[in-house]
Amino acid sequence: MSGYKDEEDIKRDAEKMVEVQDLWFSYNKEKWALKGINMELIRGEKTVLLGSNGSGKTTLLLHLNGILIPDKGRIKVSGNYLSYTKKALTEVRKRVGIVFQNPDDQIVAPIVFQDVALGPVNLRLSDGEVKNRVKRALNELNIEELSDRKAHELSEGEKKKVAIAGVLAMEPEILVLDEPTSGLDPQSSEDLITIIDSMYKQNDNMAVLVATHNVELAYEWADRVIVLSEGEIVKSGKPYEVLGDEKVIKSGRLAMPRVLRIYKGIEMAACENPGVPPRSVEELLKVMKGNLRQ
Amino acid sequence: MHFDHTLEGYTVSNKFVNIRTGEKMFFSIFTLFIAVYTQSPFLLLLILFTMSSITIWSGVRIKHYVEMLMIPLSFLLPSIFVLAFLRGSEPVLTFSLLGMHLAMMREGLELGALLMMRSMAGISCLFFLIMTTPIAEILDTMKKFRIPGIVVELSFMVYKLIFVLIEEMESTKIAQYARLGYLRGNRIKSLSLLLSSMLVRSLEKAQNMEMALEARCYAGKMPSLKFGRETESESKVHVISPSLILIILFDACLLVMAVEGGV
Ligand SMILES: Nc1ncnc2c1ncn2[C@@H]1O[C@H](COP(=O)(O)OP(=O)(O)OP(=O)(O)O)[C@@H](O)[C@H]1O
Ligand SMILES: [Mg+2]
């Protein structure tokens, strides 16, 4: 390789919102939970972090806003290396919003609007601004009608949305969601993803990172997929490059997305390669119809 | 039963929501001081009766009130029972157990009874407060009265974590029953397992909660209820309100009786 970067690389460098460099971490000094992670989040990109239970997804996410401190390695947010003073951490946590895996851990105030206001109030914003932000966040998630409800009475899906609104009200540039669809029925999961999508389209300066073990979601939705296994990144890249790779699927203890599996079957039978593989059932059906007509 | 959820439910919809938090806190805490100070059983019972009936009248279900009361009671009763054997010289009941002669003393019994009434009266004062006033408002008011931030923050953490502990206790117990714990012969073992697993799980939960709060830059501030939709214009309540007058009257009467009754 020659020493110069092509245009896309240069642009990518400029748009890096988070950079993780050779991150090592262990909870108990017996076993590494993360072993030399290198990763970046790009402005305007939707990244999905895929990994089976215990692979280290949550541990990695908790490093992005300085809740956990690496044993080795560094993290850069918006061009600055994280430092762990109280003031610097507040700044970072304003930029990096994390929605936790279990909404019950995150929702602490009794009334929905009160919980959504928690972040802004602690950022010492003016009363008017707090109110605006609460309104906007509830609006973006389409849950204005939940505003006055008691938080503990909500359904699991509603709780997830409230938890997201609480983070959104802090207006982060980098939105990190840990297992947003776990525990939701298929329809609610889809709704939630649609909402995250539209939210992300409205704020084109955002980077979104979703940790999950849902390969279907990763394949259909992500701009970039990172597969994590036992604290190490197995592969990262475009959804098809990563999830179409049998070896990656196997070492990540994942399953290949259904659309891709079927498509690969057809591709083999038809013995030809019609270009970009389909990402959703609809696209797959289109390809199949095309093949049948030939 | 999720005690904290039930509680939080009551705090936002009871007959006293519109009374200022400061008044309710004053009422509860001043009466509490009288309960600590007085030696009169009559006064203690009066406080216990008024406080619990006001609380229940405000909208708390009797069943929940009693269930909540059982929690401190289960700690209190054994220690007060022991007290009856330790103090005094005039036995009212003697018996022997495992070769030991035990005697229940009159003085110990009386002291125990007084202590019991005092504790119950005190608890009823605090119950009034936590069942009629949202914790966020209490914390806010504490801040207004210049109570140090660390105390306020700790109060919130303790408040939250007590419930985490209770909840974990309940769910661990259910899991144990489901797996046949507490049968004859392994009660002690089940109990010690309950305690250790409860502690571990509560710590875990507390840690998760703390991380989530940290992630949202929590610095000890609980948003008050005024951030809800178009709020009723910052209420211009007069400093002297009917409720305040009632409270002062009641507490003044108690105070006079406490002082008059002699120490
Ligand atoms: N607080 C902790 N103390 C000690 N070890 C921990 C702690 N939290 C996680 N671990 C360990 O670190 C490893 C990674 O856990 P992590 O929670 O990051 O996985 P995950 O990918 O988020 O899994 P899941 O999909 O189940 O949420 C696991 O082996 C786990 O047992
Ligand atoms: Mg996890």
For position A5, what pLDDT does the model report?
59
Look at the alpha carbons of A106, A111, A115, A118 in this order and tell me if their dihedral is positive or negative.
negative
By residue range, what is the domain housing residue B131? 1-146+240-263
Beta strand residue intervals within chain B, DSSP E: 91-97, 100-105
CA atoms of B237 and A53, how far apart (whole Å): 55
Higher pLDDT, B171 or B24: B24
Reported confidence tier of residue B180, pLDDT bands at 50, 70, 90: low
**Is B230 part of any domain?**
no
Structural domain includes residue A276? no
**Angle (deg, nearest 10), helices B149-178 and B3-12:** 130
Task: Decide: A27 in ligand 1 pocket, CB within 6 A.
Answer: yes
A282 in a structural domain:
no
Quickly state the pLDDT bin for B177 (edges 50, 70, 90): confident
Task: Give me the helix-helix angle, A127-140 and A186-202, nearest 10°.
Answer: 130
State whether B164 and B183 are in the same domain: yes
| Same domain membership, residue B142 and residue B156 | no
Edge-to-edge strand order for the sheet containing A96-99? Answer: A96-99, A174-178, A207-212, A46-50, A224-229, A232-237
pLDDT digits (tens, 9 = 90+) for B217-250: 988 777 877 776 454 444 555 667 777 888 888 8
Number of structural domains (chain B) is 2
Residues of chain A with pLDDT under 50: 1-2
For chain B, what percent of residues have pLDDT higher than 70? 88
Q: What is the pTM of this model?
A: 0.76
Ligand 1 closest atom vs CA B207: 1
Residues B213 and B261 in one domain: no
**What is the rounded CA–CA span in Å between residue A238 and residue A56?**
21
- Band (pLDDT 50/70/90 cuts) for residue B138 is confident
Same domain, B78 and B186: no
B142 and B63, same domain (yes or no): yes
Q: Tell whether B34 and B141 lie within a shared domain.
A: yes
Work out how many domains chain A is built from and give that number. Answer: 1
CB contact under 8 Å between B5 and A152, yes or no, is yes
Strands A34-42, A16-25: pairing kind? antiparallel
B185 shares its domain with B137: no
In a shared domain, residues B156 and B253: no
pLDDT tens per residue across span B9-50: 788 778 888 888 888 999 999 999 999 988 889 999 999 999
Domain assignment of residue A120, yes or no: yes
Residues B197 and B177 grouped into a single domain: yes
| ipTM over 0.85 threshold | no
Give the alpha-carbon dihedral of A139, A143, A145, A148, to 10 degrees. -100
The tokens for A157 are 């899906």
Indicate whether B157 and B254 sit together in one domain: no
For residue B158, tell me if it sits in a domain.
yes
Q: Is residue A194 part of a domain?
A: yes
Residue pLDDT, tens place only, A29-49: 889 999 999 999 999 899 999
Q: Calculate the average pLDDT of chain A.
A: 88
- Partner-chain residue, chosen from B134, B205, B215, that has the shortest CB–CB distance to A110: B134
Of A237, A198, A197, nearest to A217 by C-alpha is A197
Establish whether residue A68 lines the binding site of ligand 1, counting it when its CB lies within 6 angstroms of any ligand atom: no
Q: What is the DSSP string of A232-271?
A: EEEEEESHHHHHT-HHHHHHTT----HHHHHHHHHHHHHT
What's the pLDDT at B218?
Answer: 87
The verdict on the CB of residue A214 being under 6 Å from ligand 1 is no
Give me chain B's average pLDDT, please: 80
Domain containing residue A56: CATH number = 3.40.50.300
Is-contact A49 A209, C-beta < 8 A? yes
> Which residues in chain A touch residue B232, judged by CB atoms under 8 angstroms apart?
none
Is B162 in a helix, a strand, or coil? Answer: helix
- B52 located within any domain: yes
Of residues B160, B216, B227, nearest to A170 (C-beta) = B216
Closest CA in chain B for residue A112: B228
Domain that holds residue A153: 7-256
Give the pLDDT confidence of A150-172 residue by residue, as tens digits. 887 788 889 999 999 999 999 99
In a domain, A77, yes or no: yes
B176 and B130 inside one domain: no
User: Same domain, yes or no, for B209 and B259?
Assistant: no
pLDDT grade for B263, boundaries at 50, 70 and 90: very low
The per-residue pLDDT for A219 is 93
A291 in any annotated domain: no
Q: How many CB atoms within 10 Å of residue B57?
A: 11
